[in-house]
Chains A and B, each alone.
Chain A
């Protein structure tokens, strides 16, 4: 699935350049469930953004299914994200003025599907996360766990090749955390998608097959 080779990412700051990723070479296999852990500011989110095509490396290469996504233009990258990559964010990042169903539909808008098909798929995705009965609720009317499930539904509705989750349980209590991770795990098992989770939580990390630890820009890999 992913091949990162000698990836370096440096940011400019007032105090001088900051290296978030320092010569990282790592592979992520198709259908794998990967956790990424490390201290705050160690480069976890940067790595995730590289995988998601949200950012480009300063040097090195990032391949997704053999395609150099670090070389793609903005439009092409947007298309890759639209078709192949699903995101789940720590703060859910739902559009507050759209209902749960409409939020899920936003992931299908770039695919140009007719409205009826979008609606149908969105409802099916919500059903798969046991939220079909909340389809017409606004995010403000849902609990944290429910909002995160809507976000997961949004991520899976386009049947992506990979889901990138950035601290998906970071704002949730223990019970809800387990619930969400179970949802993600079940989807991984059922649909065979590649799942990459950035997490502080060891309980969450434990569930993954492959562990990446990134610290001071360096990555170490542990496989179960």
Chain B
């Protein structure tokens, strides 16, 4: 009798049933779409971050940056025989591999502590470096190269007899490094500093300098499950093996290799050492690059940069996603406040672009909108159900008169509401899944730019700039402004196609909301029916 009565009533009140179910369906569809898109955006963020931090990385650890005031910029110093001299010019070349000034490194002991922390499944440490090459061409100055240097002023090299020092002054170039020969300075020189330079790169006494810089990362050759290369795809050659640990071999980022016309088998000089290219890797996103331009074995990186047992970043994979937060807390406690431990959600703040905008939109406005619509659907369901009970006063009064208990009538009303709610839930789920399928078919593209925010040294930076100065009459050597330090910012800009998905929990949540909506309506309607006095119910219809 229960189900028969239930189905007949729902069928009879088709319009009301459809209205309530539709209201719930729209609300639930919105919840499913918001959840699906939010999930898709999270996946996109992970993809953006994995391009920088690798797949499988749950936590990253780095030392908080420090900058010593007055530290000044990079210096390239050349001794008397530091370059190659011809009759018309002197050429200089220096290649350096180093952790940029002001950057902080982690010690082996700290890395060991990380690996030993509960919740850490895998920990791999890398060393991020900068490979800088200075190339310069100077004219002949007419210096008595056996005598004193005529260069004076701030930033002058000290202690180098007969040498040429090209020291970027820390103040304005116009006030520094413009040699003004003091009468006493070059007494022994037979050609005074007042002689205009000649030769040089242009044959007229001009100077030319270029500084090229690219990022290098020392990586483990044995642990490959975690780290910056996990998100990269090998496009030619091979990746590192354990046997490469002490070899001068390198894996290059595809964009960098292409720009510099490098391929497998060729060599690259880093820190004055030739490295053989063994592989080329491509970022998971076609529009992005891998975190560094070149990758070399960690031990080689440490040796060449003079940073033995030093690391700049530790990539950590947790034993399970449930323990990420507790592991993060444990690591922060173990390593102290000078070290930064970041999870993916912390790093998500580094994502900018339309991906970040969409994330904010969905998480804030989308979630609230879905909640409001859901509440409105619940309220509508309750109102319609209660109104339906009011219209059935005679019916319920009669049933009570012939002996039906209030409880039985309440169950009847709740059953009708629950079925309506479930109908709305199923319809809503279908609508939501359909909407997500449409979104995926359209495939909106989101731009994402991710920065790790590591800034080394002072402001400014060089990237392969060539600096040339013309002949300066009445002056000696060239002076060039010296912005200090280099900027090493790991960044990754890419376009990601949004792919939303329907997770099992969303299906459960949709049905759950539907049931809640149905139950709420049934409770309110049932209470109304239970409070009906049969006498009043029958009397009201007399």
Contacts and interface: CB of A to CB of B under 8 A. Distances in A.
Contacts of B541: 91
Interface in A77-95: 78-79, 81-83, 86-87, 89-91, 93, 95
Contact of A54 (B4, B9, B12, B535): B535
Interface stretch (A61-69, A100-108, A187-195): A100-108
Contacts of B402: 81-82, 86-87, 106-107, 110, 154-155
Contacts of A13: none
Contacts of B398: 87, 89, 93, 95
Contacts of A106: 1, 399, 402, 404
B6 to A, nearest CB: 10
Interface string A93-119: 101111000100111011100010010
Contacts of B9: 97
Interface residues of B, number: 27
B368 interface: no
A78 B4 contact: no
Contact of A82 (B403, B534, B538, B539): B403
Interface residues of A, number: 35
B46 interface: no
Contact of B403 (A81, A96, A102, A118): A81
A109 B404 contact: yes
Contact of B5 (A83, A90, A97, A118): A97
Contacts, number: 81
Contacts of A105: 1
A110 B2 CA distance: 12
Contacts of A89: 398, 538
A54 B5 contact: no
Nearest to B404: A110
B398 to A, nearest CB: 4
Contacts of A128: none
Dominant SS at the B interface? Answer: helix
B394 interface: yes
A149 to B, nearest CB: 16
A133 interface: no
B1 A96 contact: no
A86 B398 CA distance: 11
B109 interface: no
Nearest to A93: B398
Interface in B400-438: 400-406, 408
B242 interface: no
A18 to B, nearest CB: 12
Contacts of B441: none
Nearest to B534: A54
B1 A54 contact: no
A55 interface: yes
Contacts of A107: 402-403
A176 interface: no
B12 A45 contact: no
B405 A78 contact: yes
A54 B538 CA distance: 10
Given A79-B403, A82-B402, A96 B539 contact: no
Contacts of B397: 93
A83 B539 contact: no
B243 to A, nearest CB: 80
A52 B403 contact: no
B4 A98 contact: yes
Contacts of B11: 97
Contacts of A82: 402-404
Given A98-B8, A102-B1, A78 B403 contact: yes
B542 interface: yes
Which residue, of A52, A93, A118, has the highest number of chain B Cβ atoms within 10 A? Answer: A93
A175 interface: no
Contact of B401 (A54, A83, A90, A95): A54
B112 interface: no
A111 B405 CA distance: 11
Contacts of A79: 403
Interface string B28-43: 0000000000000000
Contacts of B399: 95, 106
Which residue, of B11, B397, B402, B406, has the highest number of chain A Cβ atoms within 10 A? Answer: B402
Interface of B: 1, 4-5, 8-9, 11-12, 394-395, 397-406, 408, 533-535, 538-539, 541-542
21 contacts: A45-B539, A52-B401, A78-B400, A78-B406, A79-B403, A81-B401, A81-B402, A81-B403, A82-B403, A83-B403, A87-B398, A93-B538, A95-B398, A106-B402, A109-B1, A110-B404, A110-B408, A118-B1, A154-B402, A155-B402, A166-B538
Given A54-B401, A105-B1, 12 more contacts: A45-B542, A49-B538, A54-B533, A54-B538, A75-B405, A78-B406, A83-B403, A90-B542, A91-B394, A93-B394, A102-B1, A110-B404
Sort A-B residue pairs by CB-CB distance and give the 7 closest, nearest first: A82-B403, A97-B8, A110-B403, A93-B398, A55-B535, A54-B535, A81-B403
